[in-house]
Structure 1
Amino acid sequence: MQVVRRIKPEGGTITFFVAFGASRQMCRLATTFDTQKQAFSYLQKHRTEFEHMARTRLASGELEDGVVVLSML
């Protein structure tokens, strides 16, 4: 599995792709951080947990407009 970084201009929200073989699933992580840099650093530190959450939501069909939406607690 590979996480591909893709940052949107909204503060604290990061869009990334989780690769499953040849296919990729877009995921969006909403954070409480003020900057994109802080949010991406958090994503990198907790990558395994977010990949697991994204897979679980994808398997259960919890998508919003075809995107897996995650958020910080």
Structure 2
Amino acid sequence: MRVKLDGGTITFLLAFGASRKTCRLATTFNTQKQAFSYLQKHRTEFERMARVRLASGELEDGIIVLSLL
């Protein structure tokens, strides 16, 4: 999982079969280290949520938008 923190938004890629999908998560974290730690701790839950949203077509401009757990 590749993570980028930009202005309170974490952007990361998740694998769905042979393809990759961009996911965006709005956060209150100040550092990339904090954001990455949070993502790693809740990785399975975020992947599940992202798959559900992708399957139901809940995309914004082709991006899966998630919220904090």
TM-score range, shorter chain: 0.7 to 0.9
**1:52 Cα deviation after fit:** 0.3
Equivalent residue runs for 1:36-51 within 5 Å: 36-51=32-47
Deviation at 1:13, TM superposition (A): 1.7
Identical-pair percentage? 77
Structure 1 stretches of 4+ moved >6 Å: none
Aligned residues: 69
Contact 2:5 2:31 in 1 (8 A): no
Q: Distance in 2 between matches of 1:8 and 1:34?
A: 9
Q: Paired residue for 2:67, among 39, 61, 71?
A: 71
Q: Which residue of 2 aligns with 1:33?
A: 29
How big is the shift at 1:16? 0.8
Matched residues in 2 for 1:33 and 1:8: separation?
9
TM-score scaled by length of structure 2: 0.87
| Runs of 5+ consecutive residues of structure 1 not aligned to the other structure | none
Q: Distance in 1 between matches of 2:44 and 2:4?
A: 19
- What RMSD in Å do the two structures reach over aligned CA positions? 1.4
1:17 counterpart (9, 13, 34): 13
In the alignment, structure 1 residue 7 sits paired with structure 2 residue 1: no
In the alignment, structure 2 segments of 5+ residues that lack a partner are none
